Amino acid sequence: MFNTKSSIRENNSILVLSEIINRPEVSRAMISELIGLNKATVSAIVKQLIEDKYVIEIGPGESTSTGGRRPILLTLNKKAGISISFDVRHDRISCLITYLDGEKIEHTIEEKNMNKDNTVESIASIVEDTRDSMGHCPFGIIGITISIHGIVDHNKIEFTPYFDLDQIDLVGELETRLDLPVHIENEANLTALAEAAFDNEHCSLVSFSAHTGVGAGIILDGKLHRGHKGRSGEVGHTVLYPNGISCPCGNQGCLEQYCSTTAIVRRFRELKHNDQLTFQDLVASYHLKDSDTLNMILQFAKDFGIGLMNVIGNFDPEVVYINSEVLDEIPELISFLQNYLSMTIYKNVLIRQSRLGKKASLYGATVVNLQSYLHVDNVEFSLNMEKVLAG
Ligand SMILES: [Zn+2]
């Protein structure tokens, strides 16, 4: 197998480590109280976690109400390992390298056409450079997780509508070359995992992403909902207009042909009879209150609202996080959408703009690396939010 192996196996160790990871600082006595294990057992587990480099002591905390010695506080040894995340789109590859608490070491974006011939090399060379330059680190690189803009089932790419990545064994080729665990997951699913890691209030949420394509990631009762073949949340290919615009999925009138950034730019170019216009031109035209552009955005918002309602109707989330360049540039559309819902039976569902931007799926990929290596169910970035979102 791989040269990266976690020594965490035993259930009680996982429980103790989860408490240490997901609290700012915690003592052995507090852990004992929180998970109902006796103090001697907790102390023995913590001793092993410290020896194995997962945990460090950070000095004494406040005295307890009964007085006595001040307890020694514990925290995750965040610099013991490095997580590497990639997001691969047909026109761009981005990478996020972090410590074990999600704090960024490096974030890079390269605009280039990605395909079956260059993706393995592009990813492997970044990982090899990181390995060569990272210096001593007890766990080394804990794993690689790659966000795929397409359908992923059991760590295998089933369908990538805008490029040919589904024609290679991406995981197999990378694991052979790098001798590291490699995970792949659908971009929208990873975005949902990221939103959940930054949200400690809600257990059921939908992340609705509209960029090149449109997709939703679904977390129900704290767990990612993939569906039978990894196609849950493929809302981009639900039909909004029968006999509408043709879609690479083989259908017509799919939601993503109306609500993706690509679609709205295409419509703007048609409207203005100019193939050279960009997304920024569209935003400028909106802010100049060009009436054609305003009407186009209003129609976009209505289509978006229908797509959103269909997802909410299917999954009944507490909150929907929207990640869309159009809504980032025109944030008043969030209140339009919230009003739209307020007239329906879904009026209690919160609509929020994602704060994670283009790094959303990369944060989700970091969650997958951490969950897989540390064997913990939940990773909370909300504790550490400013640091994780910085840069
Ligand atoms: Zn489609």
106-123 pLDDT, tens digit each? 999 999 999 999 999 999
Percent of the chain with pLDDT over 90: 77
In the predicted structure, residue 358 carries a pLDDT above the cut 90: no
Residue 1 included in any domain: no
Cα-to-centroid distance, 313 and ligand 1 (Å)? 20
Token pair listed for 39:
């103090």
Place of tokens 């809504």: 327
Cα-to-centroid distance, 265 and ligand 1 (Å)? 18
Q: What pTM value is reported for the model?
A: 0.89
Residue 2 included in any domain: no
Q: Of 371, 95, 345, 320, give the one whose Cα is nearest residue 217.
A: 320
Cα-to-centroid distance, 111 and ligand 1 (Å)? 25
Q: Give the model confidence (pLDDT) of 44-54 as tens digits.
A: 999 999 999 99
Q: Give the model confidence (pLDDT) of 132-145 as tens digits.
A: 998 888 999 999 99
Q: Give the model confidence (pLDDT) of 7-42 as tens digits.
A: 666 889 999 999 998 888 899 999 999 999 999 999
* Band of residue 146 on the pLDDT scale cut at 50, 70, 90: very high
Same domain flag for 187 and 107? yes
Give the per-residue SS3 of the chain.
Answer: CCCCCCCCCCHHHHHHHHHHHCCCCEEHHHHHHHHCCCHHHHHHHHHHHHHCCCEEEEEECCCECCECCCCEEEEECHHHEEEEEEEEECCEEEEEEECCCCCEEEEEEEECCCCCCCHHHHHHHHHHHHHHHCCCCCCEEEEEEEEECCEEECCEEEECCCCCHHHCCHHHHHHHHHCCCEEEEEHHHHHHHHHHHHCCCCCCEEEEEECCCEEEEEEECCEECCCCCCCCCCHHHCECCCCCCECCCCCECECHHHHCHHHHHHHHHHHHCCCCCCHHHHHHHHHCCCHHHHHHHHHHHHHHHHHHHHHHHHHCCCEEEEEEHHHHHCCHHHHHHHHHHHCCCCCCCEEEECCCHHHHHHHHHHHHHHHHHHCCCCCCCHHHHHHHHCC
Domain boundary among 55, 76, 97: 76
In the predicted structure, residue 3 carries a pLDDT above the cut 60: no
Cα-to-centroid distance, 256 and ligand 1 (Å)? 7
Token pair listed for 328:
């980032």
Average pLDDT for 232-246: 92
Cα-to-centroid distance, 250 and ligand 1 (Å)? 6
Same domain flag for 267 and 181? no
pLDDT at residue 7 in the model: 62
Same domain flag for 171 and 249? no
Q: Give the model confidence (pLDDT) of 80-94 as tens digits.
A: 999 999 999 999 999
Same domain flag for 86 and 50? no
Are the CB atoms for 57 and 46 separated by under 8 Å? no
Same domain flag for 66 and 132? no
Q: Of 362, 386, 272, 288, give the one whose Cα is nearest residue 330.
A: 288
CATH code of the domain in which 117 resides: 3.30.420.40
Same domain flag for 352 and 302? yes
Count structural domains, the chain: 3
The pLDDT mean for the chain works out to 91
Enclosing domain of residue 135: 79-192+359-389
Cα-to-centroid distance, 189 and ligand 1 (Å)? 18
pLDDT at residue 339 in the model: 93
Residue 242 included in any domain: yes
* Main-chain phi, psi angles of 215, to 5 degrees: -155, 160
